[in-house]
Chain A
């Protein structure tokens, strides 16, 4: 396809241990889960599970092990199991992560691994929160392309640079790890939150879009970008590596240069 490469050797020496045989390393962990079963107990509580896990197991595998082998009532959302659907954002050892992207061996397995629901959204059961307020904020920033004038018959043109301008914020999977890590969002839940701003950014800086002004107006609200106190929790939490705080800063600048 692209570069011509020298033909690789048909046979190579493999490093020891790669070729075959050997054991899969196992290790023991304690998974400390914040349980909340509103139908049986009014209060949330911690429950420990002692598990034997293998090589490259992730926190999601540990949760599955509990659900499938120990306690079927443990509830959590998950789907893709490789970090692209955004179902399983949760607080692991105190920080927001995706359970399916967090390898157990990267955590300190000598201490219990704590797992709890993300903060700031209504808790429904165990690790499940009500996502509706989160999506409501997302919908409010008009997350869709709006263009004036005639529909082109073929595609709209866009230069490679213009496309690159908003690439980072197109990666968002709406997992809410950012918004639910934001200390401002925890306070009263009114703040639009980083995820909504990220998705507004994706359109504000898309050269094909004509409604940037409207979105800037929406985010110029008292619950908009100005509530961000640049604590960077969102950027650190984002499993897609989006530079969330940077995107927020860019939206702030855009509002400033529009009004001033």
Chain B
């Protein structure tokens, strides 16, 4: 084991992590630990754009953007956070441009902007061109530009270092009213060097979590194989709450069976959805806007068609995205990526044949709770000195129950930057917290347990079973029965997980071992998501309960906070405590979410 000391340690080198590193690297000694080479992070997969009210092409302002974000999130958005994000969006985009990001340009040479779902002029009057973009590769360009600037500023990367544990100490402290409580303080992290199999402990004054999403809980997902929610899992195991985990966004058009995303732009350009009868079924679900209805509505309609037997393909498990009535040149110029994906991955020629699609798990709205300074909360009002989180792993919460397209690339830049500055500033005044004795003990025990296990269970098999039950029972439609069914399976899988063994016993590049560790996080998160979903007896945004199809502001206009607690039981699940956190309102009152 080796011990390193840094002022700031950043976990994850996606958009959020590297944006933070650029700030913190110039202010304090910073190390970035990442399980992937930075440029492999999934931020690179984002296509559509990043929005900011630049008003480069038409009238716009950040206040409208704030409103759209709040309404899009079905009013369970913390409005102070949404304001910060919309306001800082403009500089976030300009900063990226100054760092060299090659945005598409208007004829006058300014950053070009385009329309995107849910972004409107003057509180919903009409669609507005707010998304700044670089072809259909906006995320790729952001990731590359941020990495380039990290190279420029000599940021220290520890590539292929898996962070597996967060080191915290607890000390007694007193609130203003005199009550005592246990204050957590961050001491560092424990990481596993993939190349050598050695553990490295990083002692740090500040730690920023920027480890991305958890889409691999589901089978059909647009997320990478490596997005296994490690950050959320580690936080949860360390006794920190997870906020709003029931809200997961399903994007309507993923390539069937694969989940690879086909951007919303396709339907914007006129593509339509059809079922096995060749029927344009969205006419029945949303008679006016049809195929351009919001993501959650379209996704549910698709799932319903399949459920009622009108799915296509050998297993009747997908519907079709039809572009055949469009001009080939038009498709080629506007949607080159779609056509390439369909051709490469399904062997379907979109000019002549409809493309098989099905909703795909896309984005975790929930995560590690933070305030607008990106400080992580250990409960509703107590922050943990030195611990920060930003990006998809965090929940500030700007996305509420449903994230608007292009708001996530914005989120990672705005809050990534804030986290970098805050962490470095904190490190300037703070002292190191002493490492606990045997800081690596927990991880060693876990890894040795897996390496020496003589069990009979297979990691891939368990993961498959988990993903399948999550797709079947916790996807766009949920009700008490399906959720309870899922929980039952998850519990049995957790039991079986204790008995897994792995084949690779070596120290070098032992990905077999790490897949087993990742499965542990997935199981924990699946349990939390499902329990939280069971607990929220209403429908809101991405969370749709068939047994409670309406939004219930009276009882559920609150964030959910799930804690690991061995003495508690929630919805019959031992070990989870469910609390709530009030939503922050500034100036927008909840209204019905109508488009």
Contact = CB atoms under 8 A, between A and B. Distances in A.
Question: In the complex, are there CB atoms of A and B closer than 8 Å?
Answer: yes
A188 interface: no
Contact of B148 (A2, A56, A145): A145
A1 B100 contact: no
B322 A8 contact: yes
A166 B111 CA distance: 16
Given A18-B320, A72-B504, A145-B100, A87 B40 contact: yes
Interface in B85-129: 93-94, 97-100, 102-111, 115
Interface residues of B, number: 86
A158 B105 contact: yes
A173 B43 CA distance: 12
A84 B40 CA distance: 8
Given A18-B320, A173-B44, A206-B102, A73 B512 contact: yes
A71 B353 contact: no
Interface string A203-226: 100101100000000000000000
Contacts of A79: 36, 40, 42, 224-226
B576 interface: no
B280 A10 contact: yes
B45 to A, nearest CB: 5
B99 A145 contact: yes
Contacts of A155: 93-94, 97-98, 103, 110-111
A62 to B, nearest CB: 14
Which of A8, A152, A173, A206: most chain B CB closer than 10 A?
Answer: A8
B270 to A, nearest CB: 5
Nearest to B330: A3
A108 to B, nearest CB: 16
A82 B259 CA distance: 10
- Interface residues of chain A: helix, strand, loop or mixed (majority): loop
A10 B225 contact: no
A139 interface: yes
Interface residues of A, number: 80
A260 interface: no
Contact of A86 (B39, B137, B508): B39
Nearest to B40: A85
Contacts of A47: none
Interface in A165-205: 166-167, 170-174, 203
Contacts of B312: 14, 18-20
Contact of B152 (A144, A173, A206, A209): A144
A166 to B, nearest CB: 7
A10 B509 CA distance: 54
Contacts of B313: 18, 20, 22
A101 B344 contact: yes
B508 A38 contact: yes
Given A72-B512, A155-B94, A157-B108, A82 B316 contact: no
B307 interface: no
A136 B388 CA distance: 31
Interface stretch (B70-78, B271-279, B551-559): B271-279
A233 to B, nearest CB: 21
A48 interface: no
9 contacts: A1-B115, A2-B334, A18-B353, A79-B40, A84-B45, A85-B224, A157-B108, A170-B144, A209-B100
Given A56-B258, A151-B98, 9 more contacts: A1-B269, A13-B278, A14-B320, A15-B353, A20-B313, A21-B314, A67-B511, A80-B45, A157-B105
10 tightest A-B CB contacts, nearest first = A145-B100, A68-B460, A72-B503, A157-B109, A73-B504, A144-B152, A72-B512, A144-B148, A12-B278, A155-B97
